[in-house]
Structure 1
Amino acid sequence: MSKILDIREDYLRVLSLFTRGYDREIYIREVARYLPISRGTAQTALEYLEAKQVLRSVTRGRTRLFSLRRGDHARDFCTLAEVYRRICLREEEPFLAGVLNRIVPHIEGSGAVFGSRAEGTADEESDLDLFVAGECRREEIERIGKIYGLKIHLTVYPTEIFDRDLHTDPFLQEVLRNHVLIKGTEHFVEKAVG
């Protein structure tokens, strides 16, 4: 292996925007508006990801739009971006990180935080919205919530239904747009990217 993979935090932050729905088209100024980075940094990150065959671009008028490519390479980069988002959530909310550490062993399949906690708009009174594609031990998860004084709303879809309806079910579309994966990242990304 002679090529070095240059993964900077700015690149992961930019790529994370594309993991919110996995079907977005984003232009350079839009990235600079969503993230606290300059337009030049946004352009550098987008062009790097395009050169790595993770993103593709099309020009409409004078606007250059970027979107995710499909395939293994893009899936691997999206998996990195999802892990980055999970790390950010754990650093921003250490209390929640402790709760999630206790919950994750009770999930079989993919698990995601969604709602206000995933958006970063939660306050002290906010509940924890959890989505599971697979199976979980609901009673244990609810018990953990009670121990920590945290109301947990748990939504569980069987894996087959998640796989089949991910791109058509309105609730799953909302989870796809606004989530932080806590378990089963590769399966979730594989189904989202295609």
Structure 2
Amino acid sequence: NLHIFETNNDNFRVREMKRTYFINLLAEVNIENIVEECASIAIYGSHASGNYDEKSDVDILIIGEEQHVKRDVIVKIMEKIGKEFQLNVIPIIKWEKMKKNKDPFVESILRNHILIKGVEL
């Protein structure tokens, strides 16, 4: 007897459970090690809201410099958790300017993100 289950993303408790599960998974793989130094690391998009499915990539924002990103660590973590990462690396000066100008991309992240490391966005 094959039982196929599907989560109901319309249910608040389901979304919160999925968010909690994913935050714990990221902690287990030491996600903060993807960058040497930065102001902040945050998850945004479907993994931050809990609306993700098995095909969803992981949207990651790094407020810092591209040269500090550890690409080899990212590849290992992606393989370990079976998810693709969509990385956005934004220097802090540019991020602050975008915030000040109420950039739509920044505004959407500010409304829906999970801070992993560093100062609040």
**TM-score if structure 2 supplies the norm length?**
0.68
Candidates 25, 33, 49, aligned match of 1:98: 25
Select the structure with the greater relative contact order (CA < 8 A; seq sep ≥ 6). Answer: 2
Deviations 1:57-116 (A, max 9, x none): xxxxxxxxxxxxxxxxxxxxxxxxxxxxxxx778721x5523344221223220111001
Q: Structure 1 or 2: larger helix share? A: 1
1:171 partner letter: F
Return structure 1 stretches of 4+ with deviation > 3 angstroms. Answer: 88-91
How many residue pairs are counted as aligned between the two chains? 101
Q: CA RMSD in A?
A: 2.6
Q: Identity of paired residues, percent? A: 34
Matched, 1:122 2:56: no
Matched, 1:133 2:63: yes
Q: Post-superposition shift, 1:126?
A: 1.8
Q: Post-superposition shift, 1:150?
A: 1.0
Q: 5 Å matches for 1:36-115?
A: 92-93=20-21, 96-100=23-27, 101-107=29-35, 108-115=38-45
Match of residue 117 from structure 2: 183
2:54 partner letter: E
**TM-score if structure 1 supplies the norm length?**
0.45
Candidates 90, 94, 102, aligned match of 1:161: 94
Q: Post-superposition shift, 1:164?
A: 1.9
Question: Do the aligned partners of residues 125 and 150 (structure 1) sit closer, same or farther apart at CA in structure 2, a change above 3 Å counting?
Answer: same
